[in-house]
Chains A and B, each alone.
Chain A
Amino acid sequence: MNHTTFSIGEEISYLEVKPITQKHIDYYANASGDNNSIHLNTEAAMRLGFPKPVVHGMWAMGLLNTLLHQSFSHAYHLVSMETSFTKPIFVGDHLYVSAKVQEMSGSQLTIKVTGLNQHDDTILKGNIVVIGGDK
C-alpha cells in the first residue's frame, strides 16, 4: 500500500484541550494509578517549585492515540511512538497538538507530532510510525 493520499508536511490531525482541568487529571490519575500528589494537589506541586498541579506527561502523550484515530481508519498498525516532554504543563493550561506527515516510504508513514501550550511553548514533540494507515 502506498500513501498516495498524503503529502509531506500535510497536517493530518489536530486536537486542542482548553483548558486542561483538574478533572481531566484526577480522572487520568484514577485510571492510570499514577496518584503522585504533584499532579493532584497544589501545595504538593508548590513544594517542588511549580505554580500549579503538573499535568501527567503521559496524559498528554495519550492524546496521540486520539490523533491517530482521527487520522486513520482501523486499517493500520502502529510500529512505534516516541515523545520527549520538553516543558511541564499545568492544570489550567491550553494544549494544542498537531500531527504532520514527515516521511512516506512504501506502506510506512512517519508522523511528526508537536504539542504547544497557550504561550506557543513546545511542551512535547515526537514521532509516530504506522504501517498501512489510510485517510
Chain B
Amino acid sequence: MKNWIGHQTNTHRITVTSKEISAFATSILLEDPVYFDQNVAKASNYIDIPLPYTMPITFWKHFDIPWLDSIDGLVHTNQSFTYYQPLVANRTYSCHLELNDVSHKVRDNSCMTFLPHTLSIFYENELQATSKTTLLLLEGRE
C-alpha cells in the first residue's frame, strides 16, 4: 500500500445537475429554497444552484481507485471540506483524487492503517475546493 502514496487518479470532468442537487439536499433534510430554485439561488448571488457543502463526497463514485481495488470494510474516520469558491450546478469541474499517506497506529493490540485522501476540484484551472477524506483499514484487511 505504501507504494501508492502520492498517486493520483485520472482527472475526471464532473458536472452536477440541479436535479441531482435537489435530491441530495432533500436526503440531508435541507429545505432552503436556494437548493431547489435557480431564481432564489441567483437572488442570493450564486451563478446557479449551489451544491450543499458536503456534496463533493459524491464525486468519489466517478473514480477508479486502484489502491482501494481489493479492499473491503473501510471505515470513514475524518472528513473536511475547504472552499475557495462555491460549487454550482451545470458547471463542469475537473477533479482528481490523491492518496496522501499511509500511516499505521497500534491500539489495543490492533493495527490500524489510515489512508488520507485529497479530492481537488478545479474550474478553468483554478482550484475551487478540496475535500479531505481519511479511511481506516483494520488489521488483516489489507
A contact residues vs B (CB 8 Å cutoff): 15, 17, 24, 27-28, 30-34, 48, 57-59, 61-66, 68-69, 74, 77-85, 126
Contact = CB atoms under 8 A, between A and B. Distances in A.
Contact of B79 (A61, A68, A69, A77): A61
Contacts of B32: 69
Contact of A65 (B44, B54, B79, B83): B54
10 contacts: A32-B57, A48-B73, A57-B79, A65-B30, A65-B52, A78-B86, A80-B81, A81-B80, A82-B81, A85-B76
A33 B75 CA distance: 17
Interface of B: prevailing SS: mixed
B52 A62 contact: yes
A66 B28 contact: yes
Contacts of B53: 64-65, 68, 78, 81
Contacts of A27: 26-27
Nearest to B44: A74
A78 B83 contact: yes
Contact of B77 (A24, A30, A77, A84): A84
Given A31-B26, A57-B76, A61-B54, 19 more contacts: A15-B29, A17-B29, A27-B26, A30-B23, A31-B20, A31-B24, A58-B76, A61-B79, A62-B28, A65-B28, A65-B52, A66-B29, A66-B30, A78-B86, A81-B80, A82-B79, A84-B77, A84-B78, A126-B80
Contacts of A31: 20, 23-24, 26-27, 58
Nearest to A68: B53
